[in-house]
Chains A and B, each alone.
Chain A
Amino acid sequence: MFRSFILKLFGLICLGLLFASCQSEPESWQRIEATGILRVGLDPTYPPFEAANNEGVLGLDVDLAKAITADLGLESEFVLFGYDGLYDALGTEQVDVLISGMVVVPERTRDFAFSEPYFNAGQILVTGGDTAGIQQMSDLNGRILAVELGAQGHVEATTWSRRLANLIVIPYNTPDEALTAVLNHEADAALVDSISGRLFLMNEPGLVRGETAVSVEPFAIVTRKEDELLLEKINESLDNLQASGQLEQIISKWLGP
């Protein structure tokens, strides 16, 4: 009798655990699908990724958000925050996603999830068109490298100068000054962040961007961790945009080819 009771109790507990495991957390995707609106959080002080004017918000991330929502059959609603408040805004469900030049931060993955990266904002090498043979950092021995004083490129270059005995690193006050040094043949190459580098190259087609980035700083779309279905949809959409060439078109529109 007692044994039978224990067995039944055990069975009930197992069933309860099974149901509990099957019941998912509230998923935003159902609501988004029902309303047809994806609320996108961004900080509009980071051109060309996002900026604001009298007509609203514009920029690479804005175009990307619109392309993703169009692909998903939705509309975007942009909600503006200061950069420091973006994660809190997402965590408190004021928005559904962040598309705002957000760098993938492993420490944030306890509460948030990151999509596949859509842009690498790491350091790139820019050389003069006639500077033959410079494809990567290891080609710079005996060369002059321009960097932005104090920036991450400067730190990288200092590290490389320990490996390449004859690498000469010259710091300039801004990325544009470092790139101008290459243009003026004062330096063989410049190591700058890819956003500054590509923006400069839009007006100076005589310079060449290295094919491979020197460092990786991936930008991705952020969702709440429990919104697994939403993240899946966004990743699918990013894949579609990449396959169709639309992602590259958007990036090229704002940062050049």
Chain B
Amino acid sequence: MLTTRWTPFLTYFVLFSFNPLHLGGFASHSSFFKRLSPHSSRSSLLTFLPALRLLTFVFILTLLQPAPILITPGPPQTVQTLHPIVGVHTRLTDEVEEWKIQRTLQLVREMGAGWIVEFFPWAYYHAEDGGIAWEHPDLVVNHAQAQGLKIIARLGLTPGWARPKDTPLNYLDETAYDDFAVFAAAFAERYQGKVDYLIIGNEPNLNYEWGYRLTTPQDYVSLLEMVYPAVKAANPEMMVLGGALAPTLEPAGSPWGLNDLEYLAGMYELGAAAYFDGLAAHSYGLTFPPDFEPAPDVLNFRRIELLRQVMESYGDSHKSIYITETGWNDHPRWTQAVRPGQRIQYTLDALDFAEANWPYVEVVGIWAFRLPAPTKSHMDYYTLVTPEFVAKPIYAELKAYTGN
């Protein structure tokens, strides 16, 4: 690297340093090249010979630097697991180095998780002129595919050109729904056969997820109406997942959001059923064990059953649920956390419970497999592997659970 950067300068100095007459020429490229021309005197050319030899030496030195690390996806792998329901939400969005992407996905496969949920931010890739930078999503998708992982892609975040000035990154209003649909369709088309599931948006029942714009189910249904046909036209095999609602008890009129059960019912009332093929769901256990009874005024793992009741009441029970975020937290100070041992046991029990009781659930995706960097907050205590790739005991327990 160093050699490459300094080669032109070294060459320049080397050439001149061997002929005192030319030292002053550093400021004059024209005189330098003039001296190298066929009209130059023989003696002048001779004075350059040592310098040319050195130039050759420097050139060879540049060739001696190590080649960039070559990372290939490698031969296709297969996930070995006793529990195909196990999945994880990876967080490779902000992971720059390719080897870290590959290593993360290897660890997912070795743990026996067959699914990943990954976030692909629209804002990161899509330029105003229509160009889409596919390099990073290509890395993630190709490495995941090489590890034999099924991918649920989550799309979100609005590019600056598609939202009003001075609005936050997650601001989205109806003027940009068609642009979002263009990106979602392009994504579906590009990854045909590699990505089979697409989540439109994230936790749309929270105003935060719309850039603090007060939101109603109508906003989200309008978005689905625009995106669903575009994706299906581009890739008819793509399963479009709606929902991914935040578990919350916020009442109607709250400045923060709306109760997920009410929001889902509102979506159905507005005809959303025609615009998604499966329901993505978030289901955190907080301090409750996984078999704790569900209730409308309690947030726990089995809230999934209440979402299912809403689906059934609107005649949508033929669709599956995909749990794309779940888990327990073992931060020593957070009031919604449990002890590390409880976290492990609850997680394993939750997987057993889902397998035994929820035939309509395809995947239980644990949030989060690994973060690219520590957040130094309770979020670090949701992960299975540290940013430095140290597997936590919960990782080993899950690996044993899947028979690896």
Contacts and interface: CB of A to CB of B under 8 A. Distances in A.
Question: Are A and B part of the same complex?
Answer: yes
Interface stretch (A61-69, A147-155, A242-250): A147-155
Q: Number of contact residues on A: which range applies? A: 20 to 34
A174 interface: yes
A150 B335 contact: no
B289 to A, nearest CB: 14
Contacts of A83: 333-335
B46 interface: no
B376 A150 contact: no
Interface string A122-161: 0000000000000000000000000011110011001100
A84 B334 contact: yes
B376 A105 contact: yes
B330 interface: yes
B390 interface: yes
A108 B377 CA distance: 11
Interface residues of B, number: 20
B377 A150 contact: no
A149 B330 CA distance: 11
A173 B376 contact: no
B341 interface: yes
A107 interface: yes
Given A105-B376, A108-B376, A150 B330 contact: yes
B376 A148 contact: no
A150 B378 contact: no
A45 interface: yes
Interface string B361-404: 00000000000001011100000000000101110010000000
Nearest to B331: A83
Instruction: Describe B's contact surface by its main secondary structure.
Output: loop
Nearest to A49: B333
Given A150-B330, A171-B341, A107 B393 contact: no
B334 A107 contact: no
A101 to B, nearest CB: 8
A82 B342 CA distance: 23
A150 B334 contact: no
B334 A158 contact: no
A172 B343 CA distance: 13
A43 interface: yes
A155 B392 contact: yes
A174 B393 contact: no
B187 to A, nearest CB: 33
Interface string A35-76: 000000001011000000000000000000000000000000
Given A84-B378, A150-B330, A150-B392, A174 B339 contact: yes
A46 B376 contact: no
A149 B344 contact: yes
Contacts of B397: 150
Contacts of B168: none
Given A84-B378, A155-B393, A148 B335 contact: no
B208 to A, nearest CB: 15
A173 to B, nearest CB: 4
A23 to B, nearest CB: 32
A212 B390 CA distance: 25
A173 B339 CA distance: 8
Given A150-B330, A155-B392, A171-B393, A82 B335 contact: yes
A107 B376 contact: yes
Contacts of B344: 149-150
B393 A45 contact: no
Given A83-B334, A84-B334, A174-B339, A154 B376 contact: no
B340 interface: yes
Contacts of B394: 150
Contacts of B376: 105, 107-108
Contacts of B378: 84
A46 B337 CA distance: 13
A108 B339 CA distance: 26
Contacts of B334: 83-84
B348 to A, nearest CB: 12
Given A84-B378, A173-B339, A150 B393 contact: yes
Which of B330, B334, B393 has its CB near the most chain A CB atoms (within 10 A)? B393
Contacts of A151: 330, 339-341
Contacts of B330: 150-151
A174 B342 CA distance: 9
Given A105-B376, A150-B343, A155 B335 contact: no
Given A105-B376, A107-B376, A150-B392, A46 B333 contact: yes
30 contacts: A45-B333, A45-B335, A46-B333, A82-B335, A83-B334, A83-B335, A84-B334, A84-B377, A101-B333, A107-B374, A148-B339, A149-B340, A149-B341, A150-B330, A150-B339, A150-B340, A150-B341, A150-B343, A150-B344, A150-B392, A151-B341, A154-B340, A154-B393, A155-B393, A158-B393, A159-B390, A172-B341, A173-B339, A173-B341, A173-B342
Given A150-B392, A150-B394, A171-B341, 4 more contacts: A84-B334, A149-B393, A150-B343, A159-B390
List the 8 closest A-B pairs by CB distance, nearest first. Answer: A150-B340, A149-B341, A173-B341, A150-B393, A151-B340, A83-B333, A154-B393, A105-B376
Interface of A: 43, 45-46, 82-84, 101, 105, 107-108, 148-151, 154-155, 158-159, 171-174, 193
